[in-house]
Amino acid sequence: MKVAVVGATGMVGEVMLKVLKERSFPITELLLVASERSVGKKISYNGKSISVIGLADAVTARPDLAIFSAGGDTSLTWAPKFAAAGTTVIDNSSAWRMDPEKKLIVPEINANKLTKADKIIANPNCSTIQLVMILAPLHARYQMKRVVVSTYQSVSGTGIKAVKQLENEMAGIQGEMAYPYPINRNALPHCDSFMENGYTKEEMKLAREPQKILDDRTFSISATAVRIPTAGGHSESVNVEFESDFELNEVRRILNNTPGVVVQDNPVTNTYPMPIYAHDKDDVFVGRIRRDETQRNTLNMWIVADNLRKGAATNAIQIAEYLVDNKLL
């Protein structure tokens, strides 16, 4: 199994390497790929020092699998070149997510849609992944009508420049700005760029991607995405209106029995999900499960996950594991 990690020097790329090692993914040859300015840089993996190579050399090497986390423009240009060389690409950018010819995959939900013919597979947005992990089993039981979600997203979702901005501001250092305003002791209702409809791209990803993953457009989602000064982990306040009524104990039972989901929901002991406890974990955590007392058949929840792991690297590698286990490579 020859595997290329494209964007290996970035934040998500580094976590991908960590997760590949942790999960003992079957690699016989690892290609570490990045932009020209990083070519020749040495990265340690599993006790070996590996030199970073460029994209053209990586395509020529014809890996079995290429896991991309190098930005949408890079994916649009290079993923088809890898695919044409026979490589299966799992792409973590937004480039292919809404392409009707490409599958958008959360393995626990819809990996069974994958075939050998799928040479470019899209990894969903980080906030989408943790949202649909909770919504999917409840939708199957109660049928969603409308979802209102507000996110509280870590600076790590923006990248290393944003993490550095937060660290500088906390230390009182004037430095390069990833955001138009300070992020320390602040909250920015501004994730990604604004669109003509007044929503940001991040908010529209949350509105559209779950419908594609669940292959169902009978429900609607309205989102507000906010960046907060946490170093890692995204949180979501979610209000869901269902067609059918529910019992809270059954909701908890359904979620407790969902692989990859951990219920943390006991107000008596102050037990609820928080980013600080989701850090470096692959599960999606849900709590504050309660009925909306203002509207019929409506539920409130609080959802937290590590955005660099299940929200990005781990989900991509779980897709790769499914391909290997089902002989689709």
Do 154 and 267 sit in the same domain of this protein? yes
Q: How many CA atoms lie within 13 A of 8 on its CB side?
A: 29
Tokens at 144, concatenated: 């969603």
Do 164 and 34 sit in the same domain of this protein? no
Instruction: Say how far apart CA 277 and CA 308 lie, in whole Å.
Output: 14
Do 288 and 210 sit in the same domain of this protein? yes
User: Whole domain around residue 266: which residue ranges?
Assistant: 127-307
Do 90 and 137 sit in the same domain of this protein? no
Do 237 and 146 sit in the same domain of this protein? yes
Burial of 231 (0-12, 13-18, 19+ CB in 10 A): middle
Do 21 and 61 sit in the same domain of this protein? yes
DSSP-based three-state secondary structure for 189: coil
Blockwise average pLDDT, block size 10, the chain, 329 residues: 97 97 97 94 94 98 97 96 98 97 98 98 98 98 98 97 97 97 98 98 98 98 98 97 98 98 98 97 98 98 98 98 97
pTM for this prediction = 0.97
Instruction: Say how far apart CA 275 and CA 206 lie, in whole Å.
Output: 19
DSSP-based three-state secondary structure for 200: strand
Do 117 and 177 sit in the same domain of this protein? no
Look-up of token digits 């960590």: 18
Do 292 and 147 sit in the same domain of this protein? yes
Residue 87 identity: T
Instruction: Say how far apart CA 193 and CA 195 lie, in whole Å.
Output: 7
Which helix H or strand E contains 132, and what residues bound it?
Answer: helix 126-142
DSSP secondary structure, 135-185, as one string? HHHHHHHH-EEEEEEEEEE-GGGT-HHHHHHHHHHHHT-----SSSS--TT
Do 154 and 67 sit in the same domain of this protein? no
CATH (domain of 316): 3.40.50.720
Query: Which residues have a catalytic role annotated?
Result: 126, 234
Instruction: Say how far apart CA 78 and CA 60 lie, in whole Å.
Output: 12
Do 113 and 160 sit in the same domain of this protein? no
Instruction: Say how far apart CA 74 and CA 256 lie, in whole Å.
Output: 39
Listed residue (213, 223, 226, 16) closest to 97, CA to CA: 213
Instruction: Say how far apart CA 232 and CA 291 lie, in whole Å.
Output: 29
In the chain, the number of structural domains is 2
| The pLDDT of residue 311 | 98
| The pLDDT of residue 41 | 95
